[in-house]
Amino acid sequence: MLQRRSTILFIILVILPLALLAWLGTYLIRDAEKRTDASMQAILAERLSSSDQHLLHDMRQLTDRLDSWGAQSIGSARLMSQRLATHPWIAQTWSADGEGETAPIESFEGRAGYQPGPIFNAKDRIKSILESTRNPDSMPPFVSVLEDGGPPFQRVYIPGRLSAIQQRSSQWMTYIKLFGYHIDDRPVLSETPLSWSGWHVGDSVFIYWHRFANGSLSCALMNPQMLMNSLFQRLPQPGLAIPPGRMMLTTVKGIPLHEWGKKLPGSERPPAAHRACSEPLSQWEMAYTPANEEFPKPYLFPILLGVSSGIMLVFVVGWLYFHESASEIRVAQQRVTFVNQISHELKTPLTNIRLYAEMAAHRAESQGDTIAKRQLGVVEAETCRLDRLIQNVLNYARQQRDKLTIQPKPIALDQNVSRIAEFWKPLLENKGFEIVSTLHGPEIIMADPDAIEQILGNLISNVDKYANAGKWIAIRTEHDERNTRIIVEDRGPGIPSGKRRTVFEPFERLRSDLAEGVSGTGIGLTISRELAQLHGGSLTVCPNYRDGARFILTLPNQS
């Protein structure tokens, strides 16, 4: 029992605080990680946005330079296509002087020497651009309504149903250049434009287009490798420090295009932030993996230090407590062992005293000495009482060590109860008690006769001590199909309802004042209930009995 209590105290004083500290440390670390991650995402989003805007700005400058060729072409798509063919990055140009399937298309070879592949169809691309830009209602506003100029490009969406050409080229997207974009921090102001330009992009293939007010169209196929090399050479942005981690540019399908950065330790991990590039580079994605040194975790040390200090403090307090408790337990065990040894030593002389008292009583009876017989009867009764007290002490010591046991065997219950009642009868009758015995128990029951005698002895002794004023005691046995009951009741002051549970606790007494004139150790009912439970039964106080106290010993019927 002491070991069980020590285990419970260990859980309460050590395990629970440790669990709470571990939970607190985990919670603080996770909370700090969330806040750090939120700050990191904000910083990385700004870094990716800056690189995206730089690519977009370079793309807008390239578009403006190509537009300047159109300004010198006096509204002629054919002349502009010829001029564009001399650009070192352009592989091929086309011009279309009308709209629809019958629009005549003229082609010019460029200087870049690039072939887009067998699935590329120039006529489909030109007709898709013509269809995307022929309806003025589908065109976005040419001048941005935002004060800061807004985006440089915007995608053109085709209202209504897609044509057969657009269904075959759904991966291609058409973008138009917006006016009002700030170049070099100077807003570009323009009147209603006389021509429009933009890009037709699909799977890293870039086609520049320029459409005049008369409906004619000039297109130029860029060499994508030259275009990308030109854009990537300016990464990272001039004037900005090289990022410590790894910045990646890929297609939406995950094909790597370009990497830059110092690539310090930690940057080999998967990316921590992603961003889709702005139009017309929306088929590209940017990602960044930070290095370890960029976002350290300074919160780990103070949190771990605090939690570790708390754990050490709990361990120290727990060790000190259990060290002191262990000393007290050892002293208590030594006391119990001492009492146990003394009780064992008292059993032998007590047995001899009882034996010789019985022999002397028989001799006095044979000689007709009634006075000596009565005196020897008192000695024998007190010896039995002392023997019962010693047995209670021994059983209580065994209970504390979880070694209290019983040895059940078949017994005639009524005979044992009758014998115990007859033993107590002279003492109780001398004190004026009326004894009523009603025995209707089973013929045979499995029980430990010594345990039954000790339980009944403790109950009858309590009647003698506490219900002396009632001068009445009843001992009954009864049984049903499942249980057998031994009932001891009196007509004394009874047990208050608030004491019906605690009366079975060790050293619990209804009154403990010396003036009460009642002796006892306060462990009799504790031992009695433990012995009843070892039988698989119970010992309870009947709550419905009002004339005094009624104890019910319930034992299971066993074959």
Determine how β-strand 472-479 pairs with β-strand 434-439: parallel
Provide the token pair at 44: 């990385």
- Reduced to 3 states (helix: H, G, I; strand: E, B; else coil), residue 8 is helix
Cβ-based neighbour number of residue 419 at 10 Å: 13
With cut-offs at 50, 70 and 90, classify the pLDDT of residue 193.
low
Q: How far apart are CA 457 and CA 551, in angstroms?
A: 13
Q: How far apart are CA 279 and CA 202, in angstroms?
A: 12
With cut-offs at 50, 70 and 90, classify the pLDDT of residue 120.
confident
The pLDDT of residue 358 is 76
At 61-116, the pLDDT tens digits run 999 999 887 777 777 888 999 999 999 999 999 998 866 555 688 899 988 888 88
Mean pLDDT on 464-486: 92
Q: 479 vs 42, 413, 414, 482, CA distance in Å?
A: 81, 11, 11, 8
pTM of the model as a whole? 0.53
Angle between helix 370-400 and helix 413-430 axes, rounded to 10 deg: 120
Q: How wide is the angle at C-alpha 392 spanned by C-alphas 391 and 393, nearest 5°?
A: 90
In 3D space, the residue among 168, 219, 223 whose CA is nearest the CA of residue 197 turns out to be: 219
With cut-offs at 50, 70 and 90, classify the pLDDT of residue 306.
confident
With cut-offs at 50, 70 and 90, classify the pLDDT of residue 212.
confident
Q: How wide is the angle at C-alpha 502 spanned by C-alphas 497 and 506, nearest 5°?
A: 155
With cut-offs at 50, 70 and 90, classify the pLDDT of residue 520.
low
The pLDDT of residue 164 is 44
- Asked which of 41-50, 75-84, 358-367 is least confident by mean pLDDT, the reply is 358-367
Provide the token pair at 5: 């209590």
Q: How far apart are CA 234 and CA 88, in angstroms?
A: 19
Q: How far apart are CA 112 and CA 225, in angstroms?
A: 10
The pLDDT of residue 93 is 94
Strands (E), 178-328: 182-183, 186-187, 195-202, 205-212, 217-222, 246-251, 256-260, 273-276, 284-289
Q: Is the pLDDT of residue 227 over 80?
A: yes
Indicate the DSSP class of residue 179.
Answer: B
The pLDDT of residue 442 is 92
At 485-510, the pLDDT tens digits run 999 999 999 888 888 888 888 877 66
More confident site: 303 or 57: 57
Strands (E), 169-278: 173-177, 182-183, 186-187, 195-202, 205-212, 217-222, 246-251, 256-260, 273-276
Give the count of alpha carbons within 13 A of 165, CB side only.
Answer: 17
Query: Cβ(66)–Cβ(249) under 8 Å?
Result: no
Q: Please report which residue ranges of 151-210 form alpha helices under DSSP H.
A: 164-168
The pLDDT of residue 167 is 42
- Asked which of 102-111, 164-173, 515-524 is least confident by mean pLDDT, the reply is 164-173
The pLDDT of residue 237 is 79
H/E stretch holding 16 reads: helix 16-71
Provide the token pair at 355: 């034996």
Q: Which residues, at least 6 apart from 82, have a Cβ–Cβ distance to it below 8 Å? A: 93, 108
Q: Is the pLDDT of residue 243 over 80?
A: yes
Phi, psi (degrees; rounded to nearest 5) at 121: -125, 110
In whole numbers, what is the pLDDT of the chain averaged over residues?
A: 81
Q: 345 vs 387, 394, 406, 521, CA distance in Å?
A: 12, 11, 22, 19
More confident site: 135 or 292: 292
- Asked which of 229-238, 362-371, 502-511 is least confident by mean pLDDT, the reply is 502-511
Query: Residues of the chain with pLDDT > 90: what percent?
Result: 31
The pLDDT of residue 94 is 93
- Structure-token match 């979880």, residue found: 402
Phi, psi (degrees; rounded to nearest 5) at 401: -95, 10
Provide the token pair at 361: 């009583």
Most distant pair of Cα atoms in the chain: their distance:
159
H/E stretch holding 532 reads: helix 524-534
Q: Is the dihedral of CA 421, 426, 430, 435 positive or negative?
A: positive
The pLDDT of residue 249 is 93
Indicate the DSSP class of residue 119.
Answer: T
Give the rounded distance of the alpha carbon of 211 from its chain centre. Answer: 63
Helices (H) then strands (E): counts for the chain: 11, 20
More confident site: 419 or 185: 419
Give me the domains of the chain, ranges plus CATH numbers.
Answer: 1-223 (no CATH), 407-559 (3.30.565.10)
The pLDDT of residue 514 is 41
